Structure 1
Amino acid sequence: MTAGIYNIEAVEADGTEKTLSEYQGDVLLIVNTASECGFTPQYEELEELYQRYKNRGFQVLGFPSNDFGGQEPDTIENITEFCETNYGVSFDIFDKTHARGNEKHPLFAWLLDQTAPGREIEWNFEKFLVSRRGEVLGSFKSSTRPTDPQITSMIETGLEQS
């Protein structure tokens, strides 16, 4: 099971291909994002979590998607500028991708298979927490704030595990 996520490739915002094995050993919070969504202010809390835990082996991975209400229509260059300028985002943002449907990125297909086979992501800012060993610890709906005690407790537990 652990090899699953670490064999997946994704394209970073700058166009560089990255294999998720580069994150092996870190606790990951993976989020499908959008810049024109009611949940967009969650970028601020995602950055807060990243700053709080990054020195302990925690990463936030943002995957912009235009799949929900057309709320991420811009180019990746403008998306990253928006995130940095408005929310001080310094965690890794990847290229725009599909989070649902027949064209969904293999990462989201894998995450959904691990949590709820047959389910689709319902909206922007769904969150998936992955352990240092590459196991999904939990998934959270868009309405669950990144700093919700349920998420932070699971992050802290995940960081304590080897």
Structure 2
Amino acid sequence: MTAAIYPISVKDIQGNDVVMESFKDNVLLIVNTASKCGFTPQYKALETLYQQYKDRGLVILGFPCNQFGKQEQGNEDEISQFCELNFGVTFPLFSKIEVNGSNSHPLYQHLKKSAKGLLGSESIKWNFTKFLVDKQGNVIERYAPTTKPEDLNAVIEKLLG
């Protein structure tokens, strides 16, 4: 049986279609990001995590979102340049999406149903909410924006095997 995450298609930051199945057999950390947020410095910690584990199969996927305090107003080129210049981001970034509401991207619809937040809520509360997905495409856990990327080392190590 194919995990529900794999048939979903997303657009990378250059506008190319990417099927989530292309990340099969990797541990994924999926994050809704923003360039003008108090949590924006997490880009650096996410990149550090990516560099530390990418050769063992961790892929971090950044999905810019402007739904929280309008903190991601730039276009894809501006977002990409900002992340690269300010934080040296090399992990995959994707086109800006919505994570809540009627236009919520199908990927986030699946993530939110699979790992509910505080008090069983599905909605994303803020930028830099993180979802951890195992090598089989199962959503393992949702982490709050306040969870630092470096605090995920032990669970990522365990999933990488």
- Give the TM-score category using the shorter length: over 0.9
Q: Is the 8 A contact 1:2 1:135 kept in 2?
A: no
1:92 pairs with 2:100: no
What letter corresponds to residue 77 of structure 2 in structure 1? Answer: E
Q: 2:144 aligns with which of 141, 144, 156?
A: 141
RMSD: 1.1
Read off the aligned partner of 1:50 and give its amino acid letter. Y
* Structure 2 Cα separation of the partners of residues 26 and 2 of structure 1: 14
Q: What residue in structure 1 maps to residue 17 of structure 2?
A: 17
Normalising by structure 1, what TM-score?
Answer: 0.95
2:9, 2:19 within 8 Å by CA — same for their partners in 1?
Answer: yes
SS of structure 2 residue aligned to 1:92: coil
Aligned length, in residue pairs: 158
Contact 2:8 2:107 (8 Å CA) reproduced: yes
Partner Cα separation in structure 1 for residue 121 and residue 157 of structure 2: 29
Give the distance between the partners of 1:131 and 1:2, measured in 2 at CA.
13
Deviations 1:56-100 (A, max 9, x none): 011000000001010000101000000000000000000000011
Counterpart mapping for 1:79-158 below 5 A: 79-116=79-116, 119-148=122-151, 151-158=152-159
Q: Could you report, residue by residue, the CA deviation over 1:16-50 in whole angstroms, capped at 9, with x for unpaired residues?
A: 00000000000000000000000000000000000
Find the aligned partners of 2:29 and 2:122 in 1 and give their Cα distance.
19
Partner secondary structure for residue 10 of structure 1 = strand
Correspondence 1:159 to 2:160: yes
User: Structure 2: which 5+ runs fail to align?
Assistant: none
More off after superposition, 48-57 vs 113-122: 113-122
User: Under a length normalisation based on structure 2, what TM-score does the superposition of the two structures give?
Assistant: 0.95
Alpha-carbon offset, residue 137 of structure 1: 1.6
Measured after TM superposition, the shift of residue 3 of structure 1 is: 2.4
Q: Kindly provide the amino acid, as one letter, of the partner of residue 143 in structure 2.
A: F
Identity of aligned residues (%): 46
Cα distance in 1 for residues equivalent to 2:132 and 2:2: 14
Q: Secondary structure, in 3 states, of the residue corresponding to 1:3? A: coil
* AA of the residue aligned to 1:154: V
